[in-house]
Each structure stands twice: as C-alpha cells, then as structure tokens.
C-alpha cells in the first residue's frame, strides 16, 4: 500500500486556502498512489491523471480527489457497469458528479463494481476483483457491489468515493474494508446518469475513510446544502462536539445474534463506550424483520424492475453477457408483458411504504438505531468463486442486515469499529428515518468522535 500522506479533508482544505499551489501537489500525489497501487489492488476499471482536466475551480474541494463507481456517467470516460460492454447513453456527468467537479474535485477514475451491482461480495466474472487491503496475505473480497470504492480510499488514491446502494452496496464494502459509508434516503440524491438496478430503492451513496471526511462530500452534493456547503460542514462539526448524554440509542437485538467472528461483541463494545458517555441504550422490537428479509430473498423490487430494463431490445448484448448466477434469476421472466411488471412494482412499493411507516413508528421511540452492519468477515476470494453454494451463503449473509434500510425505505450509515476476532474490519450500522440524512451525518460524526477518542 502507498505511504500515507493524506491528512483529513478539513486539514487539506485549510492548507489549500493558505497555499493554493498545494491543490495540485495533492492531485499529483493521489495519482502517483493510484499508479503505484493499481496492479496489486485493482480498485479501478479506468483512471485518468490530474492533468487531463484543463483547470480546477477554486471551490471547497479544490485539491480533493474523488473516485466514482462505474455505474455513474463521467464525461470523457466509459461506463461498463461491471459488464463486458460500455453503455454509451451513460457517458456524461450527472448532477452529483458535476457538483463535485464544480467545487474543484479531481475525478480519479471509475472504480470496479459487481456486474449491474448484483451482489454483496464484490466478485465479477468479467473484470478483476479488487483486493481487500485489510488482509495483505490472502486475496479477500472487498464487499459489493461498490467493490472498488473503499479500496480506492485505503490505497490513498482519493479522499472520497461515490457508490450506490440498493441492498447494502455502499455499507457492505465499507464495513468489510473498514471505512465509513452512507446510504442516503431514496429520492434524495439525483440518479440522473446512473445506470439503474431497481429505481424504486436505488440510492446514491458516499464512502470516505471517516465520517468527518465524508461530511465534505455530503455537503457539496446534498440538496439542503449544495448552495452553501461550508455552512453545513461547520454546523455539523460543532454539533459533533456536543455530549451524547441523554441520547436514546435503540438496538436491534436480532441482528446481534447472527454474527460470526465476534462481530457482535466488537459492536457491543462500541455501544458500551457510548453508554459510558451518557447515551441511553434500549432494545427495540423492530417491525417486519421477517417480511423485509423474505422480500429481499424473493428478489424484491430489483427482480421486476431490472428485467424491465435488461429485456429492452437495445440492451440485448448486455443480457446475453450476464453471468449465469445473475441471468438465472430472470430467464423465466422473458416475454412478460410490461403491464405485468408495472402492476407488480406498484404492489411491492405499497408493501415497502407499509413497512416504512412501521419502521418510522419504531424509530420515533429513539434518536437512532444501531446494529452490526455485516454479520460476517470478508471471505477469501477463492472460497466464493470455486463454490456456488459458498457464494450464495456468504452473499446472502453479507446483505442480510443492510437490506432492511432499503426495503423499509430508511437512511443508514456504517462506522468502522475496529477489528473482529478474525483480525478483520467490522462496522456498526446507524439507521434513521427516511429524510433524516443531515441528522444521520451529524450523528455519524458525533459517534465517531467519541469512539475514536
């Protein structure tokens, strides 16, 4: 891995303000780290140097580097979505990428993704699988589907990484690699120029080494703050210093019982640390846990929304190239009339809305909910690529506790809470109601400050 040269984004922003030439130094160092780490870690499908852009605006993120998951369109770069072929209609900057560029960010390149974002481990039959930096002796999966995103952060090629999350695709890789990740509320951040998997529950998301770093990217892209991102950054930075005495934290006990490698104990140790700082800890009777899980197991909304997309005549070559493990989910739906898909989508959205209401009523009892993000450690790549049964088992378990926030239409984040009994990273998931994204970002920064003290 590269030599660590990046300070916090807060420190870098201050450096660039006082020494504007520092911005180019940071971009050049990020690209040097990318070139030095690429062959070993394979975070990127495509990358570009900082000199490929004629100029960088003197915005809030001048000197800050950002990697982009290969589901987003980026002008001048192709979008493969983890498939063998490029999608030419997703080749331009969408609003999120443009917001980052307008504030001076350097887009380092496109990070690897699972094929069409279908999978929680990060495997892909068409492209290299990024190497999880948490294990230097064995190639472990990074988590998915935003598989290259955390690897791009931990190899010091960028400070922010754009991902997407439909069942956990930001939070799972963040937890497995040991970074922060946030899944925004569905509909909050634009999905224009982002290849769809399940439009009803697809969400844009962001990864960073810390919540404090992620705050800067969040403020630039969020509709509440994009006109004055510094104001939100400064507000949350102050709020994060406030005591959590009296803050009510609800645990989801069922999600502590299924953990392996002592992950539950590691998360509970973090909870005890918060309790020692004055937080009130209660157990929640979370509604519809089984209903949400069964909806996920059935394929959920993606099982009807993605086929409608991939069966379109203009997408035939991508359907033909699908991995067998993906294609087998949809073959039986070929020839289904569009109105049948639409009716089923309507029914499933009604089910999601019902579960969302119940979840909001549960969350009204507390300030936030907490559980382990992922109940398993990142498995070795060989284990899940040589056995289909092993892949299915590990993939389902990887997504088992993140899918809840998607199928109950909530917002959620994951904070790294150290290493589990296997010596691998694990994460603590923070869940809040739909639309409470700014509060989620604030709580993430606040809890991170306490846990890292």
The active-site residue, picked from 2, 65, 67, 69, is 69
Greatest alpha-carbon span in the chain:
62
DSSP letter for each residue of 26-44? HHHHHHHHHHHHHHHH--E
The active-site residue, picked from 2, 65, 67, 145, is 145
Verify whether residue 110 is a known catalytic residue.
Answer: no
Verify whether residue 392 is a known catalytic residue.
Answer: no
Give the distance, in angstroms, between the CA of residue 196 and the centroid of all CA atoms in the same chain.
15
The active-site residue, picked from 147, 169, 186, 198, is 169
Cα–Cα distance, 45 to 109 (Å, whole number): 8
User: Mind spelling out the 3-state secondary structure of 186-200?
Assistant: CCCCCCCCECCCCCC
Going by the DSSP 8-state scheme, the letter that residue 140 receives in this structure is: B
The pairs formed by 387-391 with CB atoms below 8 angstroms and a separation of 24 or more are: 388/325, 391/121, 391/123, 391/325
Residue 97: φ, ψ to 5°:
-60, -40
Verify whether residue 198 is a known catalytic residue.
Answer: no
Cα–Cα distance, 12 to 444 (Å, whole number): 21
Cα–Cα distance, 213 to 240 (Å, whole number): 13
Please identify every residue annotated as catalytic.
69, 145, 169
């Amino acid at each position: 891995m590269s030599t660590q040269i990046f300070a916090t984004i807060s420190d870098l922003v201050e450096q660039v303000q006082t020494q504007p030439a520092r911005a180019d130094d940071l971009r050049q160092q990020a690209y040097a780290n990318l070139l030095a780490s690429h062959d070993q870690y394979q975070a990127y499908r495509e990358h570009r140097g900082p000199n490929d852009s004629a100029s960088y605006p003197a915005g809030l993120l001048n000197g800050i580097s950002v990697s982009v998951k290969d589901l987003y369109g980026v002008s001048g770069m192709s979008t493969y979505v983890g498939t063998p072929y490029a999608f030419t209609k997703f080749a331009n900057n969408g609003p999120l990428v443009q917001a980052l560029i307008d504030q001076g960010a350097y887009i380092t390149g496109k990070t690897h993704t699972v094929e069409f974002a279908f999978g929680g481990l990060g495997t892909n039959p068409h492209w290299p699988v990024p190497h999880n930096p948490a294990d230097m002796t064995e190639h472990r999966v990074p988590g998915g589907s935003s598989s290259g995103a955390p690897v791009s952060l931990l190899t010091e090629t960028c400070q922010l990484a754009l991902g997407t999350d439909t069942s956990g695709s930001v939070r799972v890789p963040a937890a497995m690699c040991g970074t922060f990740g946030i899944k925004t509320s569905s509909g909050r951040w634009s999905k224009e120029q982002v290849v769809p998997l399940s439009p009803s529950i697809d969400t844009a998301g962001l990864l960073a080494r810390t919540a404090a770093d992620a705050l800067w990217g969040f403020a630039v892209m969020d509709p509440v703050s994009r006109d004055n991102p510094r104001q939100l950054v400064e507000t949350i930075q102050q709020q994060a210093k406030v005591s959590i005495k009296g803050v009510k934290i609800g645990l989801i006990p069922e999600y502590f019982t299924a953990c392996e490698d002592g992950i539950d104990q590691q998360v509970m140790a973090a909870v005890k640390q918060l309790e020692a700082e004055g937080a009130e800890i209660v157990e929640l009777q979370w509604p519809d846990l089984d209903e949400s899980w069964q909806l996920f197991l059935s394929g959920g909304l993606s099982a009807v929304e993605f086929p409608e997309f991939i069966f379109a005549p203009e997408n035939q070559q991508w359907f033909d190239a699908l991995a067998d493990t993906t294609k087998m989910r949809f073959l039986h739906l070929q020839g289904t009339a569009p109105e049948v898909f639409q009716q089923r989508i309507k029914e499933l959205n009604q089910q999601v809305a019902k579960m969302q209401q119940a979840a909001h009523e549960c969350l009204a009892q507390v300030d936030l909910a907490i559980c382990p993000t992922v109940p398993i450690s990142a498995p070795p790549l060989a284990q899940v690529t040589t056995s289909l049964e092993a892949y299915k088992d590990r993939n389902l378990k990887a997504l088992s506790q993140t899918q809840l926030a998607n199928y109950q239409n909530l917002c959620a984040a994951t904070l790294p809470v150290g290493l589990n009994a296997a010596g691998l990273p694990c994460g603590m998931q923070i869940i809040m109601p739909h639309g409470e994204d700014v509060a989620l970002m604030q709580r993430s920064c606040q809890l991170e400050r306490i846990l890292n003290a």
